[in-house]
Amino acid sequence: MKRIKAFALTDLLALISLVVMAGTGLVLFRFWPTGSGGAGKNPDYINSFIGLNHQQWVLFHDWSALVFIILMVIHLAMHCGFMKEMIGNLRK
């Protein structure tokens, strides 16, 4: 039962970090698109969104992506035996 709880916890945390990463990515895409339309020329430019500036959103996005990657490595390591078994079955 502990193994199932570990799988569930890892998957839940990965899902949460994926949702955070996607949400912050959408905020960055919508409010701070890449290009030359900075604060000086673009009347729609905003300095912050929900109290966080661009750099804080990028930092939040990057950290959630790093957490997601780490959790996916853990997830794959936890399922290593299953993957070996499936590959062995394909060879038969």
pTM score, whole prediction: 0.75
| Tally of domains within the chain | 1
Q: What are the Cα distances from residue 14, in Å, to 27, 37, 88?
A: 20, 34, 28
Query: Contact, 73 vs 81, CB < 8 A?
Result: no
Q: Which two tokens stand for residue 84?
A: 């070996």
Sign of the CA dihedral with 76 first, then 79, 81, and 83 last = negative
Q: What are the Cα distances from residue 87, in Å, to 72, 81, 84, 90, 92?
A: 20, 10, 5, 5, 9
Provide the pLDDT for residue 80. 87
Q: Across all residues in the chain, what is the average pLDDT? A: 84
Domain that holds residue 75: 2-91
Provide the pLDDT for residue 40. 53
Tens-place pLDDT, residues 80-92: 888 888 888 887 7
Whether 43 has a pLDDT exceeding 80, the answer reads no
